[in-house]
Amino acid sequence: MNNKDNGFLKPTIFATATLLVSTGIRNTIGLFVSPIVENTIMSLTDVSMAMAIGQFTFGLFQPLGGILTTKYRTFTILFSGAVCLIIGLLGIKIANTTLLLIICFGLLTPAGAAASSFPILIGHISKAVPNGKRTIVSGLINAGGSAGQFILAPLIQICINNYGYYGACIFLACAVVLSIIPSWFLCRTKITVTSEEVTTSNISDTILDNDGIRKELISVFKIPSYLFLHFGFFACGFHVAFLATHLPGEIGFYKYSGSVIALCFSILGICNIAGCVLVGILGKYIKLKNILTGLYTIRLFLIGIYLIVPKTIIVFIIFSIVAGFTFGATVPPTGDITARFVREKYFSTLFGMIFVTHQIGSFFGAWVGGMVMDVTGSFFFMWVIDASLSLLAAIISFKIKENGQNRV
C-alpha cells in the first residue's frame, strides 16, 4: 500500500466507525413507533409527525453543519452532535405527548445525527482522497451507517422486549458516548492533501475563493444536473423514510412478531453495506448516472412485485435483501457527481443541500405513511406513491450530465 493510500485509510476507518452509531440510530428509529403508540396516548399519525419532523430536521442541519465546518473544528461539531443525541434519547422518558416527542425525536436526536452525518465526515477527509477513489471511499463510509443498522436493530429489539423502549434509548445513549472515541481519533489524524487535489480543486479554490458561498450557490443551481440530483434524492428520501419508519408496522400488520421485524431490519442493514460497497466499486467502471437510474428502477420493480405476492416471512426477507442493496447505495454516486460540480471548500454545504431535499422527501415518507394507515387501514397507497416517484427518479437520473462540464 503506497503513502497516498495511507493518507486517507485511517480517516476513512474512523469516519466509518463514527457514522455507524449515528446513522444506525437514525435508520432503526422505526422500531420505536409501535411501542410508543402502544404505551402512550399518541396515535400513529402523531408519532409519524414527530418522526417526519425529525427527518426534515436531519436534512436541515446538514448544510448548516457544512457551513459550521468552515468556522469551527470538526470535533466541536461532532461532540456537540453527540450531546444532542444523548439528551434527545434520554428525554424520551418524559415524552408522553406529541410536543415532547417532537422535541426529542423531531429536533434533538436528528440534529445530533446530522452533526456526524455523511456530508460532514466525507467533507472532513475529502482533501486526502484522490478523485479516482472518492466513490469507493464514500461507499465504505456510508456502509458504516448500514453496519450500525445491522448491529443495532436486533439489540434494540432485545432491549424493547426486556426493558421497554426507554431501556432501548438508554442503550443507544451509551453507544453514542462510545462513538465519541472514533470521532476524537478522526479529528486527531493528520489529513494529508493529495497532489491531485493540489493541482486541481485547491488551485481553483485559491483563484475563486473570493466568490464566497453566495456565488457558489447561484452558480450551482443553474446546473440542470444538480437539480436532477435534488429530485432523485427527494424520491430516495421518501422511499427510505417510509421503509425506516413504517416497515415495522407493515410487517406487524400481517401479524409477524418483533423478532421478524428486527431480522428484516438487520438484513436490510447488512445488504445496505454490500450495496454501498458494490456501488463504490462499480463507480469506477460504469457511468454514475446509469448506476442511479438502475437503483431507482430496481426499487420500482421491487415494489411492483411486492404488491402482488402473498406476504409471507420469506417474501419480507427477500424484500429486505433487495431493498437493502438499494437503500443507501444512491449516496456514493450522488456525492461523487456533486463533487464534480462544486469546489471542494463548499462540497459539504452543497451536498448537504441535496440532503435537505432528501429529507423533505423523508418528511412526507414518514408523515404521510402514518396518516394513510390511520385513514385507510393499510399502506397500499403509499407503495403506489413510492413506485411512482421511483419511476420519475429513474427517468430524471438518466438525463444527468455527470462530467461537470455543464456548469454555467
With a CB cutoff of 8 Å and minimum separation 6, the contacts of 369 are: 48, 241, 242, 245, 246, 379, 382
Query: Which is nearest to 402 in space by CA: 340, 344, 348?
Result: 340
Q: How many angstroms separate the CA atoms of 113 and 59, rounded?
A: 10
Please give the pLDDT value at position 199.
Answer: 37
Cβ–Cβ < 8 Å for 66, 348: yes
SS3 (DSSP) at 96: coil
Q: How many angstroms separate the CA atoms of 302 and 319, rounded?
A: 7
Report the chain's terminal Cα–Cα distance, integer Å. 40
Which triple of cell numbers denotes residue 34? 409501535
Architecture of domain 8-187+211-398: Up-down Bundle (1.20)
Query: Which is nearest to 117 in space by CA: 210, 32, 205, 20?
Result: 20
Please give the pLDDT value at position 207.
Answer: 36
With a CB cutoff of 8 Å and minimum separation 6, the contacts of 304 are: 387
Domain boundaries, the chain: 8-187+211-398
pLDDT digits (tens, 9 = 90+) for 256-265: 988 899 999 8
Q: How many angstroms separate the CA atoms of 350 and 393, rounded?
A: 20
DSSP 246-271: HHHHHHHHTT--HHHHHHHHHHHHHH
CA geometry: angle at 286 spanning 327 and 393, to 5°? 45
Q: How many angstroms separate the CA atoms of 3 and 209, rounded?
A: 29
Please give the pLDDT value at position 397.
Answer: 92
pLDDT digits (tens, 9 = 90+) for 104-149: 999 999 999 888 877 777 777 766 666 666 666 776 776 777 788 8
Please give the pLDDT value at position 198.
Answer: 39
Query: Residue with C-alpha cell 427477500?
Result: 318
Please give the pLDDT value at position 299.
Answer: 96
With a CB cutoff of 8 Å and minimum separation 6, the contacts of 76 are: none
Please give the pLDDT value at position 130.
Answer: 63
SS3 (DSSP) at 227: helix
Residues of the chain scoring pLDDT < 70: 1-8, 63, 65-67, 69-70, 126-136, 139, 142, 190-213, 344-345, 348, 403-408
Please give the pLDDT value at position 58.
Answer: 84
